Amino acid sequence: MSTEIKTEKAPFVRVVKQEGMPFSKRVVVRICFVLIALVVCGFLINAITSYDPVSVYTIMFEGAFGNARRTWATVREMMMLALIAIGLAPAFKMKFWNIGAEGQILIGGIISAGCMIYLSACPAHVLLPLMFVLSAAGGAAWALLPAIFKARFNTNETLFTLMMNYVAIQLTSFFVAHWENPKGSNTVGIINSANQAGWFPEVFGQKYFINVALTLVFAIFMFIYLRYTKHGFEISVVGNSENTARYAGMNVSRIMIRTMLLSGAICGIAGFMAVSGASHTISTSTAGGRGFTAIIVAWLAKFDSATMLLISLLIAFLNSGATEIASKCKLNDYASDMIIGIILFFILASEFFINYRLVFRKKEKGGV
């Protein structure tokens, strides 16, 4: 009887978990999905504007990499995003939902801007390391608070870190109002434009060389830390199951607090990089939503440093290309947000098809 029901009611399509898809097939799936995403975007662009999609992509590419300075600006944005993602990686791997990168970046930024304003007389080799250390400490402190509460009282870290962002934004507004020029204009302006104190110096004639170097150092550090150290192992155990970690005799609270200190410190350093290495000013938009975008980067990359760099590059490319589309075609820059959304959606979808497969109803049920 039961077999009869099965034959009648077998679903048209079933989702089956699969593992160990061969490498070559994974590559093909991912390439296919990115291509489909580009084609879908192409249709969309064409439907809205009747522009030839290929030329729109060409313009985007030129906007991001058209000449040396554009390439460097794109690389700078990529490094910024990647550094934040690297900072978030250990927290998220531990399944500690650190939504507070935005705030941790701002705190690092405020501290850096403050150092630049008040300590502009310091020589660079003292000032820059000092800013580095202080903004790391600031970011760490901003992350420490929710970590302690989570570890001690098991408070919800998602809400806690999120709310810390608003506190940081208000603090930034306060300092902007304190430092603004002229009073009331809400603009701090470029700090130390005359003597460039506290700015990243040019290395090999390259303004953004230090941004790249700093991020790569952290990328390598995080790669080793998460994969080859005891700390990294503990993080992944806590992430998989806190009870298992406890059973194995790990001090979960300590691991949590330690990891969040590291996560916050790197985000604070990202704030330092944003102020010293890029904008040389501070405003409530210094973090600019990157603290949230970086979460997507970290997750998509499954916390792997090299992949985080690649995904950051993709997003930075799309963003730089966006300004160029707005400039060259009469497309609003929201159009590029849509394109970014579609591409990310398809990348996520490709993960689904790598981890699961669809089984369609067959005429004869095989071997049940």
From residue 363, how far is each of 2, 6, 7, 367 by CA, in Å? 17, 12, 9, 13
Nearest approach, Cβ of 52 to other proteins (angstroms)? 5
**Nearest residue (CB) to other proteins, 234 versus 304:** 304
**Nearest residue (CB) to other proteins, 64 versus 265:** 64
Q: How far apart are the first and last CA of the chain?
A: 14
**Nearest residue (CB) to other proteins, 1 versus 68:** 68
**Residue 360: phi, psi to the nearest 5?**
-90, 155
**Nearest residue (CB) to other proteins, 73 versus 262:** 73
Nearest approach, Cβ of 286 to other proteins (angstroms)? 7
Nearest approach, Cβ of 217 to other proteins (angstroms)? 19
Q: How many other CB atoms sit within 10 Å of the CB of residue 122?
A: 16
**Nearest residue (CB) to other proteins, 34 versus 141:** 34
Spatial distance between the Cα atoms of 181 and 172, rounded to a whole number of angstroms: 15
Nearest approach, Cβ of 237 to other proteins (angstroms)? 18
**Residue whose C-alpha is closest to residue 59's, from 293, 312, 326, 245:** 326
Tell me if the bond preceding 182 is cis, omega within 30° of 0. Answer: yes
Spatial distance between the Cα atoms of 245 and 224, rounded to a whole number of angstroms: 21
Listing DSSP states for 140-182 in one string gives HHHHHHHHHHHHHH---HHHHHHHHHHHHHHHHHHHHHHH-SS
Nearest approach, Cβ of 296 to other proteins (angstroms)? 14
From residue 366, how far is each of 3, 6, 228 by CA, in Å? 12, 12, 45
**Residue 201: phi, psi to the nearest 5?**
-75, 160
Nearest approach, Cβ of 103 to other proteins (angstroms)? 18
**Nearest residue (CB) to other proteins, 104 versus 211:** 211
Tell me the torsion sign for CA atoms 294, 334, 78, 55: positive
**Nearest residue (CB) to other proteins, 73 versus 91:** 73
Which residue ranges make up the site for other proteins (CB under 8 A)?
Answer: 23, 26-27, 30-31, 33-35, 38, 51-52, 54-55, 57-62, 67, 69-70, 73, 181-187, 189-190, 193, 278-281, 283, 285-286, 288, 302, 304, 306-307, 310-311, 313-314, 317, 323, 326-330, 332-333
Nearest approach, Cβ of 277 to other proteins (angstroms)? 10
